[in-house]
Amino acid sequence: MTIKELEIESGISRANIRFYEKEGFLAPIRKANGYREYSPGDLELLLKIKLLRNLHVSLEEIRALQQGEVRLGDTLQKKIDELEQEKKNITNIQEVCRTMRMDQAAFGNLQAGKYLEQLERLALECGGTEERQLAPRIYAPYRRLFARVMDFILMEFVCAMFVVFVFRESMLEVGDIGWGAVCLCALFLAWIMEPHFLHWFGTTPGKAIFGIRIVKTDGSKLLAAEARERLYDIITTYLGASMQGMFSLRTSRWNRENYELEGNYWYGNKDVDLPWEKHNHAYTIKENTLPRALLYIGILVLSVWLQLNPNIKIRPALIQGELTAEQYTENVNRFIWGYCDKNSSYQEWELLSSGYWREKEQKKNYTVIYHTGEKFVPNRLTIQTNAKGDVEQVSFTVKKTASDDWLSGDTELQWIAAGALLGAEKKCKAKQLRQLEEKLSADPFASVRFTIGNVQVSRDIIIRDYSKTDYFLIPSGDASANPYFELVFVVSRIK
C-alpha cells in the first residue's frame, strides 16, 4: 500500500503520516526503488492513533500503550478525570464571564485583580479531590429580622446625617414629610449598596453584626444581579403585604409564610422558605449572640442619639493665629453660620471689615439686642488693631434712654464677638466656647469680667429706673423716673 493509498484510506494527511513514521509509530518496508510499502497493520495503527488523538490522548500516552507499558482502561479513566476537571474550569470561566457582564465591566475600568481572584477561588474549589460540602440552609428568623432592621437604620442614618450636615436641619424639625423623604432615600441607598455588599463580602453591615452571611449552597457569593433580584422580591413582597394590610379588612387572608415581617419573623416559622429565597441560597450563622446583641443595641442607641441631637451639625473651621481685621470679620461670619441657630437674626447679616453689618438678600424683622419693637440692625463692632495690623480688641456699646420699651437679655452678639476671637486660639476647644456662652448668659444684666485662654472678656452695665427679671428689664412706672441703660462690651487678646 503506497502512502497515497494510505492517506485516502485513513483520512490522515501525508505530512502527518510521515510525522508518525518519524516518531517511530510506523515502520514501512522500503522497496528496491526507494518507495515505502505500508501494510494493513500500518493502516489499523493509524486509525487507532487518529481515534485516540480525537479523544485528547497525547502521543506519549499512545506510545506507552503501543509498548504495553500502561493499560488502555487506565489511560481512558485518567482522560475522563482530566476532561471532567476541564469541564469545571470551563464552567468557572463562564461564571467569571457572567459576573463581568453583570458588572458591565469595560476594558478601561476593568478590575483584573478582582476577577482573577474569583477565577483562582473557583479553581481551588474545583481542584479538591473530595466533593465540596453544600452550605446548610439556616433560617434564624428573628436574627434576620433584626439584621434587616439594622441595615435600614444604618442607611437611614447616612441619609439623616446628609440632611443635618448639608441642609443644617435637625431631624427633630423636618416633620413627617422630611422623615418620609429620608426613609425613601434610605430605601434607594439600600437598593444601590446591598447587592454590592452581598456580592463582595457575602453579607451587609446589619447582617455582619449578627454573624449572618448569604451565599449560594455551593459556598460561592451571590452575583450582584442575583442579590438585587433578591432585594427586589423583598421590597415588593413586604410593600405588598403592607398595602394589603392597609386596604383589606380580612387580615386573616394574609399568608404568613409569604411575608417576612408580618409572617415568618413574628410567628417564628423557622423552616419556611420565603418568596425571595432561591433554592440555591443559604444563610450561615455565627454564634456569640450576647455580644452581638449588645453591639446591636449600642449602634441603635448611638444612631438615634446622633440623629435627634439638635447640637450635631457641621461647623466650619475658624482662622487661627494672629488675625487682621478682614480675617476677624471672616471668623465672625463663619462663627455665625456654624455656631448660631439657623433661625438666628444674625444669619441674615454679614460683618464687614469696617465693623458695620451688611444685610443679606433675605430680609426679616427681628428684635434688636436689648431693644424691642424695632427692625433688627446689629450693633457696629469697633475693631482695634496694633501696628502690625493684628486685631487686639473688639468692642461695642448699647445705650437706651427715656424709653418705655422692655429690654431683652440677649447675649448672642457678645458670644459672636468673643467666640470669633477665642476660636482663633490654636488650642481652643469646643468646651471653651460653651464655657464662654454659659458665662455670658448666666445673668445677662450683670457686669462680668473673666479670661478664657488668651482672651479677656469684660461687660460693664449701668441700669437705672428699670425693674430686672430673669430675661427682661421693665421700665419703672414712676412718672418721675428716667430709665437709662448702657452696656459696654470689650473682648481683647492678652499676651
Mean pLDDT, each 10-residue run in order, the chain (495 residues) = 88 88 86 85 90 88 87 86 82 85 83 80 62 52 82 89 74 79 90 90 87 75 82 72 44 41 44 55 65 85 78 73 93 88 85 89 43 64 92 92 76 92 87 91 91 93 85 77 89 88
Strands (E), 206-326: 212-216, 281-285
Strands (E), 152-242: 212-216
Let me know if 259 is exposed, middle or buried by CB neighbors in 10 A (0-12, 13-18, 19+).
Answer: buried
Residues 6+ away with beta carbon under 8 Å from 41: none
The model's pTM is 0.47
Neighbours of 236 (CB within 10 A): 12
**What's the confidence (pLDDT) of residue 362?**
52
The span from the CA of 385 to the CA of 404, in Å, is: 38
Let me know if 33 is exposed, middle or buried by CB neighbors in 10 A (0-12, 13-18, 19+).
Answer: exposed
Q: Are 475 and 404 in contact (CB under 8 A)?
A: yes
**What's the confidence (pLDDT) of residue 282?**
58
Query: Which domains are delineated in the chain?
Result: 3-66 (1.10.1660.10), 72-127 (no CATH), 141-308 (no CATH), 325-493 (no CATH)
Q: Are 395 and 487 in contact (CB under 8 A)?
A: no
**What's the confidence (pLDDT) of residue 288?**
62
Closest CA to 445 of 463, 426, 418, 427: 463
Neighbours of 357 (CB within 10 A): 20
**What's the confidence (pLDDT) of residue 44?**
92
**What's the confidence (pLDDT) of residue 223?**
81
